[in-house]
């Protein structure tokens, strides 16, 4: 009963909160379904709510009387640029190849250790902001909420007859985290605020600002690697390791404030705004952050004083406008929420209804877009395994960029879900990785072009990882990050049609990756070109000699990636009118790549031979890459392979970790099976392992953000597809999504699509053509051709007739 009252009250408060200061700002309206909300403070990190501006991240606990906001800055990593290239790799390469051709896979697997360099460094937590309110422990009418539409988190409650409210956001335009505190009765704000860190730090006051200065370790071992001193600091603060600084200032209305080295304290204020800025000494991927770093002081104080010169209303308005310019490009409605669902706190709603609540599905879709906007903006780092939110010095897998699926998956929604700008940080990472990867190609393989393997970090580590032989070839021996990353460059071009981008950025990187592959490919003696050593990311097979191995030749994924890369190299060079001889070389080689093969039971073979699986339900779906995210396997072009891919997916089953389910949504969508895709959505929208945590962060387990990004990409793929040179509307609509509406999804060729459907059938569609390209629009088996000038708009009814 008490609970019910609280909920009802919560809804009214949120309506009031949406209009601070009494007047409704023009940029807001009541989009209440787009919020995560809870009736109690977060007890754990995975209950806290994330805000981010691409660079700064905050996890809001919303405690009473103690607020904690855990803080991150996306360049705060351990380590420094170092040498990871290994000349021994080149020496053992011929022997590894000999063993593979002799069928001695387990021996090749073992010898692969000699190709390894060091592990990557670790993404680090920056610190915590604590705010202690002096009103005592008792409170009532609590609500904690994150609005995806405004990117503002709100905490409100009553204590001793006073209603307290906190509004918190991370502003991209102003580069600060803003915490606005109000109370319903003037003069009731009494609190103190301080900063700390898990890293080495000290705090001091500088005029009206609290400063935290910190030093990151010069080395952190991955959490799965056990040896002494896994976290190592330089002896002095002027030594190696990232320097960083956080600054906190309180701006108050009424009352008094005081500051000391341990914090800021405010008495009897009517209102207060806390501004938090931060910066690190990061000075580029190829410079030492300790010895050649920037001074973070002027950077963080610059952000802080600029923000302090603006009113709270100004900061808020600029933030909301900036966020909504991206966020509001896409709207999605999949149906009404079941009775009572919206009245439940978000975690209870997931537990109770899961994917049976279509509004929760669209909320999770938009949450993925929100998280991408919050963790990836031009000029920032791309989202790592945890986006930008991490509270551990040794987070799982170092919270690095894992390139054999995870970092790419993070970007799957970027183009189709209308956030192409958020793709830019990955593109910049590719450029930097390629610079280091040229040396690795030369030293480790004696090859031209550039290479990268399954992990990288802020220093753009490009070699196989594994502490010079302590790792496992199962994941380390994968020199295919280049081709996969180049697929993103091509996608960015396909969606935008940006020729300058193709000429100046994409093509040179594609060419470099292709040069490495041309050198790395060898003849198999039967007329084909193959890769060796070759792995199908992290999966193992049982060789005919009864031994397990991950290392063989020409896995289906290697061949798929190289075919994709070469095809784009050919197309790009032709389009740009450059490199005719190189194009010819690619053309000749692409024809000779070992083709797809069908294995036992009609499945798509994963390895060059039809080995037995060690783990038939393995989470990776690497051999299905050409079904999604690639496009070499389609129903129309390769019906036999299409059927084989389907068989393989059935054999893999629905079982799998969080991101694996995310991938399967898109795979089933490409297979035209909306109901089976919905099955994976169901698996995702559950609390617990492989599903989501209370704050809807994806569970691998443990927490990994990739699943959050695969989710919107998968839903988009169910609603439109454009990978076959036509714009396919509603290719995989689940039976239960009878009526709905979507606005703003993007398609290759420069199109944007709005549509609605009813009774499971298209009702209307509007297609905006940005580039004026010709387009074939498909609905079921019907097709119409579009031809318009750039900026043209087409309107159709449910039978694809023009309106």
Query: x-or-dash pattern for ligand FUC, window 110-129, by CB under 6 A?
Result: --------------------
For ligand FUC, the closer CB: 397 or 493:
397
Q: b vs e for 311-341, b when ≥16 Cβ sit within 10 Å of the residue's Cβ?
A: ebeebbbbbbebbbebbebbbbbbbebeeeb
| Binding of ligand FUC by 457 (CB under 6 A) | no
Helix H or strand E encompassing 794: strand 793-797
Q: What's the closest the beta carbon of residue 264 comes to ligand FUC, in angstroms? A: 39
Q: How many residues does the chain have?
A: 803
Distances (CA, A) of 485 to 428, 491, 703, 792: 11, 10, 24, 32
For ligand FUC, the closer CB: 354 or 395:
395
Distances (CA, A) of 32 to 14, 15, 35, 147: 8, 9, 6, 8
Gap between the Cα atoms of 94 and 755, Å rounded: 56
Listing from the earlier edge strand, what are the strands of the sheet with 256-260? 49-52, 56-60, 66-73, 127-133, 189-196, 263-269, 256-260
Query: Per CB under 6 A, which of residues 658..697 are in contact with ligand FUC?
Result: none
For ligand FUC, the closer CB: 425 or 658:
658
Gap between the Cα atoms of 693 and 699, Å rounded: 6
Q: What's the closest the beta carbon of residue 633 comes to ligand FUC, in angstroms? A: 22
User: By three-state DSSP, how is residue 765 classified?
Assistant: strand
| Binding of ligand FUC by 475 (CB under 6 A) | yes
8 A C-beta contact, residue 414 and residue 407: no
Helix H or strand E encompassing 245: strand 243-253
Residues paired with residue 77 on neighbouring β-strands, in sequence order: 123
Query: x-or-dash pattern for ligand FUC, window 30-59, by CB under 6 A?
Result: ------------------------------
For ligand FUC, the closer CB: 55 or 700:
700
Q: List all residues 6 or more positions away from 636 whose beta carbon is below 8 Å from its beta carbon.
A: 724
For ligand FUC, the closer CB: 272 or 621:
621
Q: What's the closest the beta carbon of residue 681 comes to ligand FUC, in angstroms? A: 20
For ligand FUC, the closer CB: 565 or 705:
705
Q: What's the closest the beta carbon of residue 20 comes to ligand FUC, in angstroms? A: 41
Residues paired with residue 446 on neighbouring β-strands, in sequence order: none
Q: What's the closest the beta carbon of residue 332 comes to ligand FUC, in angstroms? A: 27
| Binding of ligand FUC by 385 (CB under 6 A) | yes
Gap between the Cα atoms of 758 and 530, Å rounded: 49
Query: Per CB under 6 A, which of residues 510..539 are in contact with ligand FUC?
Result: 538
Query: x-or-dash pattern for ligand FUC, window 567-596, by CB under 6 A?
Result: ------------------------------
Q: What's the closest the beta carbon of residue 92 comes to ligand FUC, in angstroms? A: 23
In this structure, are strands 727-729 and 775-779 parallel, antiparallel, or unpaired?
A: parallel
Helical segments of 446-480, H only: 473-476
| Binding of ligand FUC by 754 (CB under 6 A) | no
Query: x-or-dash pattern for ligand FUC, window 172-211, by CB under 6 A?
Result: ----------------------------------------
Residues paired with residue 211 on neighbouring β-strands, in sequence order: 204, 247
Q: What's the closest the beta carbon of residue 396 comes to ligand FUC, in angstroms? A: 7
Pick one of 143, 623, 700, 723: the residue that binds ligand FUC (CB under 6 A).
700
8 A C-beta contact, residue 485 and residue 516: no
Gap between the Cα atoms of 338 and 351, Å rounded: 14
Pick one of 244, 397, 566, 625: the residue that binds ligand FUC (CB under 6 A).
397
For ligand FUC, the closer CB: 233 or 711:
711
For ligand FUC, the closer CB: 539 or 769:
539
Pick one of 573, 657, 722, 769: the residue that binds ligand FUC (CB under 6 A).
657
For ligand FUC, the closer CB: 68 or 700:
700
Helical segments of 621-705, H only: 639-652, 658-670, 674-684
Q: What's the closest the beta carbon of residue 702 comes to ligand FUC, in angstroms? A: 10
Question: Per the structure block, which two tokens stand in for 563?
Answer: 């075919």
**Residue with token string 């935290």:** 212
8 A C-beta contact, residue 64 and residue 139: yes
| Binding of ligand FUC by 709 (CB under 6 A) | no
Pick one of 402, 534, 536, 648: the residue that binds ligand FUC (CB under 6 A).
402
Q: What's the closest the beta carbon of residue 314 comes to ligand FUC, in angstroms? A: 41
8 A C-beta contact, residue 606 and residue 596: no
Q: How many residues bind ligand FUC (CB under 6 A)?
A: 10
8 A C-beta contact, residue 290 and residue 281: yes
8 A C-beta contact, residue 53 and residue 388: no
For ligand FUC, the closer CB: 168 or 407:
407
Q: What's the closest the beta carbon of residue 451 comes to ligand FUC, in angstroms? A: 19
For ligand FUC, the closer CB: 166 or 700:
700
Q: What's the closest the beta carbon of residue 450 comes to ligand FUC, in angstroms? A: 22
Question: Per the structure block, which two tokens stand in for 450?
Answer: 């550039």
| Binding of ligand FUC by 450 (CB under 6 A) | no
Gap between the Cα atoms of 460 and 455, Å rounded: 9
Q: What's the closest the beta carbon of residue 706 comes to ligand FUC, in angstroms? A: 7
For ligand FUC, the closer CB: 475 or 611:
475
Gap between the Cα atoms of 718 and 252, Å rounded: 50
| Binding of ligand FUC by 406 (CB under 6 A) | yes
First to last CA, the chain: 53
For ligand FUC, the closer CB: 710 or 719:
710
For ligand FUC, the closer CB: 363 or 405:
405
Query: Per CB under 6 A, which of residues 321..380 are in contact with ligand FUC?
Result: none
Q: What's the closest the beta carbon of residue 631 comes to ligand FUC, in angstroms? A: 24
Q: Residue 402 carries which DSSP code?
A: E
Give the residues lining the site for ligand FUC (CB under 6 A): 385, 397, 402, 406, 475, 538, 619, 657, 700, 704
């Amino acid at each position: 009963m008490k609970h019910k009252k609280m909920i009802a009250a919560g809804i009214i408060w949120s309506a009031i909160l949406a209009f601070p200061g009494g007047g409704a700002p023009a940029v807001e309206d009541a989009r209440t379904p787009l919020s995560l909300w809870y009736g109690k403070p977060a007890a754990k990190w995975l209950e806290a709510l994330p805000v981010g501006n691409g660079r700064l991240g905050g996890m809001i606990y919303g405690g009473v009387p103690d607020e904690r906001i855990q803080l991150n800055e996306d360049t705060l990593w351990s380590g420094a640029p170092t040498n990871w290239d290994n000349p021994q790799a080149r020496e053992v390469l011929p022997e590894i190849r000999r063993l593979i051709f002799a069928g001695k896979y387990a021996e090749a697997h073992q010898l692969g250790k000699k190709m390894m360099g060091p592990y990557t460094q670790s993404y680090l937590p920056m610190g915590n902001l604590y705010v202690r309110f002096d009103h005592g422990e008792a409170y009532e009418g609590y609500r904690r909420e994150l609005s995806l539409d405004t990117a503002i988190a709100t905490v409100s409650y009553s204590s001793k007859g006073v209603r307290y409210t906190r509004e918190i956001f991370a502003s991209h335009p102003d580069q600060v985290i803003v915490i606005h505190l109000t109370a319903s009765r003037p003069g009731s704000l009494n609190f103190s605020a301080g900063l700390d860190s898990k890293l080495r730090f000290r705090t001091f006051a500088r005029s009206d600002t609290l400063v935290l200065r910190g030093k990151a370790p010069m080395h952190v071992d991955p959490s799965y690697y056990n040896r002494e001193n896994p976290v190592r600091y330089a002896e002095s603060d002027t030594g190696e390791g990232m320097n960083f600084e956080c600054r906190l200032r309180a701006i108050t209305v009424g009352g008094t404030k005081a500051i000391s080295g341990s914090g800021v304290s405010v008495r009897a204020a009517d209102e207060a705004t806390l501004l938090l800025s931060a910066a690190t000494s990061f000075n580029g991927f190829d410079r030492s952050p300790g010895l050649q770093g920037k001074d973070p002081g002027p950077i963080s104080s610059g952000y802080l004083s600029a923000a302090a010169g603006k009113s709270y209303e100004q900061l808020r308005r600029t933030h909301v406008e900036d966020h909504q310019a991206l966020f509001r490009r896409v709207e999605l409605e999949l149906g009404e929420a079941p009775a009572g669902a919206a009245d439940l706190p978000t975690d209870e709603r997931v537990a109770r209804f899961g994917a049976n609540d279509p509004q929760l599905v669209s909320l999770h879709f938009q949450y993925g877009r929100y998280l991408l906007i919050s963790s990836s903006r031009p000029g920032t780092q791309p989202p790592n395994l945890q986006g930008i939110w991490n509270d551990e010095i040794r987070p799982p897998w170092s919270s690095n960029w894992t390139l054999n699926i995870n970092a790419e998956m993070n970007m799957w929604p970027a183009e189709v879900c209308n956030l192409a700008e958020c793709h830019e940080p990955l593109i910049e990472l590719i450029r930097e990785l390629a610079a280091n990867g040229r040396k690795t190609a030369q030293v480790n393989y004696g090859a031209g072009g550039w290479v990268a393997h399954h992990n990288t970090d802020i220093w753009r580590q490009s070699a196989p990882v594994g502490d010079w032989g302590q790792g496992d070839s199962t994941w380390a021996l994968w020199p295919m990050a280049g081709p996969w990353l180049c697929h993103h460059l091509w996608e960015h071009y396909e969606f935008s049609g940006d020729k300058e981008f193709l000429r100046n950025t994409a093509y040179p990187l594609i060419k470099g990756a292709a040069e490495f592959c041309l050198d790395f490919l060898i003849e198999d003696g039967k007329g084909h070109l193959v890769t060796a050593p070759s792995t199908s990311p992290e999966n193992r097979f049982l060789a005919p000699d009864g031994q397990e191995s991950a290392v063989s030749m020409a896995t289906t994924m290697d061949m798929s990636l190289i075919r994709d890369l070469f095809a784009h190299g050919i197309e790009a060079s032709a389009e740009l009118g450059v490199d005719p001889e190189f194009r010819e070389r690619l053309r000749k080689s692409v024809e000779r790549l070992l083709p797809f093969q069908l294995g036992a039971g009609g499945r798509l073979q994963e390895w060059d031979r039809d080995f037995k699986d060690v783990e038939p339900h393995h989470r990776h779906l690497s051999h299905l890459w050409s079904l999604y995210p690639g496009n070499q396997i389609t129903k129309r072009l390769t019906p036999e392979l299409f059927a084989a891919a389907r068989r393989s997916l059935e054999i893999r089953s629905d079982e799998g970790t969080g991101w694996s389910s995310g991938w399967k949504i898109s795979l089933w969508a490409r297979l035209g099976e909306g109901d089976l895709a919905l099955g994976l959505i169901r698996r995702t929208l559950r609390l617990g392992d492989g599903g989501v945590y209370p704050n809807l962060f994806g569970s691998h387990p443990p927490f990994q953000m990739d699943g959050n990004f695969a989710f919107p990409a998968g839903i988009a793929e169910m609603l439109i597809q454009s990978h076959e040179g036509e714009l396919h509307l509603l290719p995989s609509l689940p039976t239960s999504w009878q009526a709905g509406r979507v606005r703003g999804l993007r398609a290759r060729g420069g199109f944007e699509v709005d549509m609605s459907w009813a009774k499971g059938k298209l009702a209307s569609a509007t297609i905006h053509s940005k580039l004026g390209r010709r387009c074939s629009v498909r609905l079921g088996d019907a097709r119409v051709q579009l031809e318009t000038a750039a900026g043209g708009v087409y309107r159709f009814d449910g039978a694809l007739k023009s309106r």
